[in-house]
Amino acid sequence: MLSARRTAIIVASLSMALAGTAATAQATPKAKAGSHCTADLSTHKTRCYGSFREVIAAATGGRVTDAPATPQQAAKDKKFLAELNAPANSAAQTRTALAQNTVVGGILYEDWNYGGSSLTLTIPSACKDDGQWDWGYNNLDDWNDRVSSVIPAGNCYVALYSDIYYNGTQQQYNTSTPYVGDAMNDRASSVKLL
């Protein structure tokens, strides 16, 4: 049998460990359901916004301010997709994009057919289209096992991996894809832009 003192020490130790775990969990807030966020692939910092239109305006450095109100509308709006992929139309916009990593490399969606929350991947410059890896996010953190549809942008292909650090099953998408397929649905843990 444990003595009362030994039991008190064990209980105190467990309480401290649990308090540390709670503090750690609070330090990295989770994205709320229905939220729209950006992930800067050069810093791996994520920032969330109140609407899809707001996230696109932020992700493009203010170049695209008239995005459709919902991700589903955006995915089917050819004018919006062309605008998203268009280069900056002035030297000032180009400088702003480079300074703020405001080239969109792709958009990941939580649900099939571009529904639910979205994660817009921003990069410092468009992909080179040379078959080589340009940018990556080696651990999708809050987006682990949540991706169901994708839109590539910025001259990039989106490659999803089932495990962190670009391991496991890999699937590449070069066009807007309303369903990533059974092999990758809700399984992606890392992403590369090529």
What pLDDT, in 10s, does the model give residues 20-64? 333 323 333 344 555 999 999 998 899 999 999 999 999 998 889
> In terms of residue numbers, what domain contains 19?
1-29
Q: Are residues 17 and 90 in the same domain?
A: no
Q: Are residues 18 and 96 in the same domain?
A: no
Q: Are residues 17 and 107 in the same domain?
A: no
DSSP secondary structure of 116-151: EEEEEEEESS----SSS--EEES--GGGTT---EEE
Q: Are residues 77 and 63 in the same domain?
A: yes
User: Does residue 4 surpass a pLDDT of 90?
Assistant: no
CATH of the domain at 70: 2.60.20.10
- Specify the pLDDT at position 32: 52
User: Does residue 18 surpass a pLDDT of 80?
Assistant: no
Q: Are residues 47 and 136 in the same domain?
A: yes
- Specify the pLDDT at position 51: 94
Burial state string for 111-148 with b = 16 or more CB within 10 A and e = fewer than 16? beebbbbbbbbbbbbbbeeeeeebbbbeebebbeebbb
Q: Are residues 100 and 35 in the same domain?
A: yes
What is the residue-averaged pLDDT of the chain?
81
